[in-house]
Structure 1
């Protein structure tokens, strides 16, 4: 098998490096999708808990500067009573983004770019998406405990 001896000429190495950088600039940024896994039994995870309940989670090695995350939320309606709630995103147990699910039976979309720089020194980062019911019916509904809040990630990209 032929052996290749690397060039020791500084100008030749610099020219090759400049060519590689130019190629990278032409191709643009690469984005990696972060897989998030449901902790419930449905594709759109629902929770009727009145305390925060983890619906989606994933573990990553924080090698990039940020995580672009998009969520889909929907409230519930039980016997004409609309259900509202709250949701939050946690990194290793600390809340980094939160919001409310309106007390209506409509779909909501939320998106943000979350900073991963404080976690770059860690080998693993647990990402959790949680929700809870804050208003609505207290009986009936999907699981019998009142209205539910549905939450599903639309996208999770490492930038």
Structure 2
């Protein structure tokens, strides 16, 4: 098999490097998608509990410095009474991001980038997304306990 001698001249190395950079730009930046698994059997997990209940979770090894995550949230309406609530995201049991679901029966979006540097030394991190109902009807609804809070992750990418 013939051997090829590499050209070590600076202009040839620069041309090769420029071609590799152009190739990387054309292919785009790759990101790791982090799968999240529902703890219920529906596509948009709902909870009518008044205590925080885990709707989505996963375990992962933190290989990067950040986790970009986006959520979709919606309240409920039972007998013309709107349901509001709260949600929180936990890493290894500690709340790292939280917010509220307004009681006006509209879809909301929330996005953030979580800092994973404090978790880089650990083998495995448990990520949980929880919701609870804080306002609204107390009877009727999906399960008879009042309005529900719906939550679904839109994306979770390791950056």
Match of 1:143 in 2: 143
User: Which whole-Å CA distance do the structure 1 matches of 2:23 and 2:56 have between them?
Assistant: 34
Shift of 1:28: 4.9
Q: What residue ranges of structure 2 are gaps of 5+ in the alignment?
A: none
Shift of 1:46: 0.1
Match of 2:89 in 1: 89
Match of 2:154 in 1: 154
Shift of 1:150: 0.2
SS of 1:114 mapped into structure 2: strand
Match of 1:54 in 2: 54
Match of 1:74 in 2: 74
Instruction: Please give the per-residue CA displacement for 1:113-147, whole angstroms capped at 9, x wherever unaligned.
Output: 11111100111011100000000011110111000
User: Which whole-Å CA distance do the structure 1 matches of 2:35 and 2:124 have between them?
Assistant: 14
Shift of 1:105: 1.0
Superposition RMSD in Å: 2.3
TM-score normalised by the chain length of structure 2:
0.85
Q: What residue ranges of structure 1 are gaps of 5+ in the alignment?
A: 5-10
Q: How does 1:1-159 map to 2 (within 5 A)?
A: 19=17, 22=21, 26=25, 27-159=27-159
Match of 1:7 in 2: none
Number of positions where the alignment pairs a residue of Structure 1 with one of Structure 2: 150
Question: 4+ residue runs of structure 1 moved beyond 2 angstroms?
Answer: 18-29
Shift of 1:29: 3.1
SS of 2:105 mapped into structure 1: coil
TM-score normalised by the chain length of structure 1:
0.85
Shift of 1:23: 7.0
User: Which whole-Å CA distance do the structure 2 matches of 1:57 and 1:139 have between them?
Assistant: 28
Match of 1:8 in 2: none
Instruction: Please give the per-residue CA displacement for 1:84-139, whole angstroms capped at 9, x wherever unaligned.
Output: 00000000000000000000111000100111111001110111000000000111
SS of 1:35 mapped into structure 2: coil
